Structures are given as C-alpha cells and as structure tokens.
Amino acid sequence: MASKVKQLLFVALLLVPALGAAQTLGPDATPKAFLQIIDRPRASLTPRENKQRDVNGVEHWHFTYAADEAQRVSGFLTKATNVSGKRPVVIALHGTGGEKEENLDLLQLIAQRGFIGVAIDGRYHGERSNGGDGYYAYTDAIAGTYRTGKEHPFLYDTVWDVLRLLDYLETRDDVDARHIGLIGFSKGGMETYLAAAIDARIAVAVPMIGVQSFRWALDNNAWQSRVGTIQPAIDGAARDEGKSEINTDFVRHFYNRVVPGIADRFDGPQMLPLIAPRPLLVINGDSDSLTPVPGLMEVVEKTKAAYAQANAVDKFKFTLQPNTGHDVTPQAFREVIAWLEQWLKPNGRP
C-alpha cells in the first residue's frame, strides 16, 4: 500500500490550491485513565540533529530524541529555506511495517507549502527495529507484551512517543507550537486519534484509514482483518496458551493484555469525540475490511454529536471514499492538504 500511496500523493498535492483560515485551540480533554496506562518518567529529551541535504529549496534534517530512559525516537524534519520565523508543523505517522522514509515525499511537499514537516519511526519500525525487519520486530514485541505485560508496542507506546515529540517541537525556535497538525495512515491513523484525544497541543488531526470500533468488530465477528495485520503476534500468544484456534473470546483476551481498553473505554466511539472542538478530518474506505463501515459509522455519529454540542460542526469532516479498500485516493489527499491549509495557517500566511 505504501508505494501506491506515495505515487498518488504527488498527483494529489500538486493540484491543491492554497487556502487559509484562523484556528482555535480547544480545551485540554486528556482522559486520566489512558495516561495512567502509557505514562512513564519523562527522561531528558537530549535531542540530536543532523542536517542531511537541501532538495529544491527544502532542508532535510535527521533527528532523535529520548522518549524514555530506554527508547530514542528517530525522525526526519523538513522546512523551506526561504521561510523565516515560526511555522506551523505537520507530523506524519506511517502504518504497520512501514517507516518514516515512506513519508519523505509528503514532507518535501508540505515544506514547500510553508509548513515544517516531521515524520518519525513507530516503535520497533525503521531505525528502531534493531537492524531487522520492522514488521516482525513489531509483532515480536507485541507477542512479548502478551507474555510479560511489559511495554505496549501495539499503538500505545507510539502515542507516548508523539507526546514526547510535541515536547521536543516546543523547544524549537522555528516551530509555531500552537499550530501543530497530526496525520497518520492505518496504524498511524489509530495513533493519530488516540494522541489527539489526550493532548490538546495537537491542533488539527487527520486519521486516515484507521478510525474504527474495535468493540463492534468483536461483537459482530468482524475482527479477522484487523488481527491479520499483527497475525504473528496473536499466533504466538495462541501457541503459548496451547490453543489450536483463535476465536472472538481469545482476541478479546489478547487485546486486554496488549492494548488494554482498546475495545471499550479507549475505543473509537469514546476517543474521537474528545478531540472536539479542534479540527478533525476522518478518511476511510467504504470497502475496507480493516475498518468495517457499521462500526465506523458508530464512531462518526458520536463524533458529530460532540462537535454539534461544542458548536463546531464546521471543524469535523468525514469522507467515506467510494469503491476503496485500505487505501487513500488522490481526491482524499487533496482534501487532506486543503484541511491542513485551512486550519493550521493563521491569517492565511504562506
């Protein structure tokens, strides 16, 4: 999926006109229960930055920072050489088995439009896979959590890494910390809405092909495709338990151990409404088995109600891509960039 998305990205972004509008930062709606699960001592960030190259008027930097005492996060940062002062930021999160490099084309184009572009490697992906295959490093780590109860590499630890990334960005004199947007694909889309729900420093959120109801999928025997994205991890857990078959009850048990609360208190219908009234654009495919439409619509309806109650109906938009599976179309990319331009650029500045 990543290569196809990258090809479509060039087509879509080059067709988007520049827009501009003011953005209002919403109140802090951080649920203490979620933070209690992911929270840990905040080690010194000790950032390390290294300029790599200039590409068509855009500086490309590599950076790392400490997320905690055991983990350093690797990332890329891009910014236009001809724009001075503080700039809005767009952070991009990759999907399962991906890496930050997949978002380099997006970062380049984002920087050319006056943003600072940032992408990081998720837990056990890219530079953080210890030299191995990121997908198997990730699923091995999830299986390890099932066995030991330590860490939460499936979604939650990368959410923590994003919160620490916000801490790092706030230290930079070129960052407009009141205008930081977060977008994510698939796994990154789930991490996007979870992070935005608990940290109001994320001014604009765009979860793509990731919004769903885990509870609905379990209740309706529609969990297979989602579990299939981390199949080696749940297969290992089933072997540990001596189970020859993976059924709904075991999947529920597995979720409770590796991502506690994801199918109830921290499910999509509970978390996305917490983003209101900050701008939120949700994009899914109408034929995506990973995010079944009935469960998705439950999330959408509850989110709509939250934005209506906050008198912010114009700040929530939902796009269900027609005849589309687990992918993002050029039209959807155009919507994404227009949304970021509208809500992240104060006073319509370039």
pLDDT number for residue 123: 96
Q: Among the residues of the chain, which ranges form H helices?
A: 2-13, 32-38, 104-112, 134-148, 156-170, 187-198, 214-219, 224-228, 231-240, 248-258, 268-271, 293-309, 330-344
| The pair of three-digit structure tokens given for residue 195, joined into one six-digit string | 């992070």
Q: What is the mean pLDDT of residues 76-99?
A: 95
Q: What percent of the chain has pLDDT over 90?
A: 85
- Which pLDDT tens digit goes with each residue over 294-306? 999 999 999 999 9
Mean pLDDT over each residue of the chain, to the nearest integer: 90
| pLDDT above 50: residue 337 | yes
- Which pLDDT tens digit goes with each residue over 234-265? 999 999 999 989 999 999 999 999 999 999 99
| pLDDT above 70: residue 16 | no
CATH number for domain 2-13+31-348, candidates 3.40.50.1220, 3.30.70.260, 3.40.50.1820, 3.20.20.100? 3.40.50.1820
pLDDT number for residue 347: 58
| pLDDT above 70: residue 291 | yes
Whole-number Å distance between alpha carbons of 93 and 35:
20
